[in-house]
Chains A and B, each alone.
Chain A
Amino acid sequence: MGTLRNGGRAAARGLVLGLLNPAGMALILLLFVVAKRSAGGPYLDQNLLRTLLIVLPLTCVVVLAATLIPGLAEGTRGLAGLTRRLAGDWCGVPIADPYRHETPARRDPATWRDMLWLSVGSWLGMLLVVLPAALIGIGVIGFLGSRLIGAIPPPAYPGNSTASILVFGVALIAAGLYSAPRMLTAYGRLGRSMLAPTGSAELERRVEHLSQTRTETLDSGAAEIRRIERDLHDGAQARLVAMGMTLDAAGQLIDEDPKAARALLIEARDNSAKALQELRNLVRGIHPPVLADRGLADAIRALALDTPLRIHLTSDLEPQARPFASIESAAYFAVNELVANVSKHAKASQAWIDFRQHDGMLKITVTDDGQGGADPRNGTGLQGIERRLAAFDGVLAVSSPPGGPTAVTMEIPCASR
Chain B
Amino acid sequence: MRVAIAEDLFLLRDGLTRMLEAHGFAITAAVDNGDALLAALREDPPDVAIVDVRLPPTFTDEGLRAALQARKENPGLPVLVLSQYVEQLYARELLAGGSGGIGYLLKDRVFDSAQFADAVRRVARGGTAMDPEVISRLLARTTGDGSLSVLSPREREVLALMAEGRSNAAIAQRLVVTERAVAKHTASIFLKLNLQQSDDDNRRVLAVLAYLGG
Contacts and interface: CB of A to CB of B under 8 A. Distances in A.
A36 B53 CA distance: 92
A268 to B, nearest CB: 10
A2 B90 CA distance: 59
B85 A308 contact: no
Given A289-B85, A302-B89, A308-B143, 7 more contacts: A273-B108, A277-B108, A290-B89, A301-B89, A305-B88, A308-B140, A308-B145
A310 B146 CA distance: 13
A164 B193 CA distance: 91
Interface of B: 53-54, 60-61, 84-85, 87-90, 92, 106-108, 111, 137, 140-141, 143-145
Given A269-B111, A276-B108, A293-B61, A305 B85 contact: no
Given A284-B85, A308-B144, A292 B111 contact: no
14 contacts: A273-B108, A273-B111, A276-B108, A277-B108, A280-B85, A283-B84, A292-B60, A293-B53, A294-B60, A302-B87, A305-B92, A306-B88, A306-B141, A308-B143
Nearest to B61: A293
Nearest to B111: A269
A298 interface: yes
A273 B141 CA distance: 24
A305 B84 contact: no
Nearest to B83: A289
A88 to B, nearest CB: 46
A334 B18 CA distance: 45
Interface in A275-322: 276-277, 280, 283-284, 289-290, 292-294, 298, 301-302, 305-310
A298 B89 contact: yes
Contacts, number: 50
B137 to A, nearest CB: 6
A294 B85 contact: no
Given A284-B85, A290-B87, A305 B60 contact: no
A349 B53 CA distance: 33
B127 to A, nearest CB: 23
A305 B86 CA distance: 12
A272 interface: yes
Nearest 10 A-B pairs (CB), nearest first? A308-B144, A305-B88, A302-B89, A293-B60, A293-B61, A289-B85, A273-B108, A276-B108, A302-B87, A280-B85
Contacts of B53: 293
Contacts of A305: 87-89, 92, 137, 141
B89 A308 contact: no
Secondary structure at chain B's binding surface: helix, strand, loop or mixed?
A: helix
Contacts of A302: 87-89
A308 B139 CA distance: 10
Nearest to B59: A292
Nearest to A277: B108
Contacts of A289: 84-85, 87
Contacts of B107: 276
Nearest to A295: B60
Interface of A: 269, 272-273, 276-277, 280, 283-284, 289-290, 292-294, 298, 301-302, 305-310, 349
A9 to B, nearest CB: 53
A276 B92 CA distance: 24
Contacts of B106: 276
A17 B61 CA distance: 63
Contacts of A310: 145
Nearest to B88: A305
Nearest to A279: B84
A273 B137 CA distance: 18
A277 B90 CA distance: 19
Contacts of B85: 280, 283-284, 289
Contacts of B108: 273, 276-277
Contacts of A273: 108, 111
A319 to B, nearest CB: 12
Contacts of B145: 308, 310, 349
Given A293-B61, A294-B61, A272 B111 contact: yes
A267 B103 CA distance: 27
Given A293-B61, A301-B89, A306-B137, A280 B84 contact: yes
Contacts of A272: 111
A294 B85 CA distance: 15
B195 to A, nearest CB: 21
A262 to B, nearest CB: 14
A290 B83 CA distance: 12
Nearest to B137: A306
A350 to B, nearest CB: 11
Contacts of B90: 290
Contacts of B141: 305-308
Nearest to B107: A276
B131 to A, nearest CB: 12
Contacts of A276: 84, 106-108
Nearest to A299: B89
A284 B87 CA distance: 11
A177 to B, nearest CB: 62
A284 B133 CA distance: 15
Contacts of B144: 308-309
A303 to B, nearest CB: 9
A131 B141 CA distance: 68
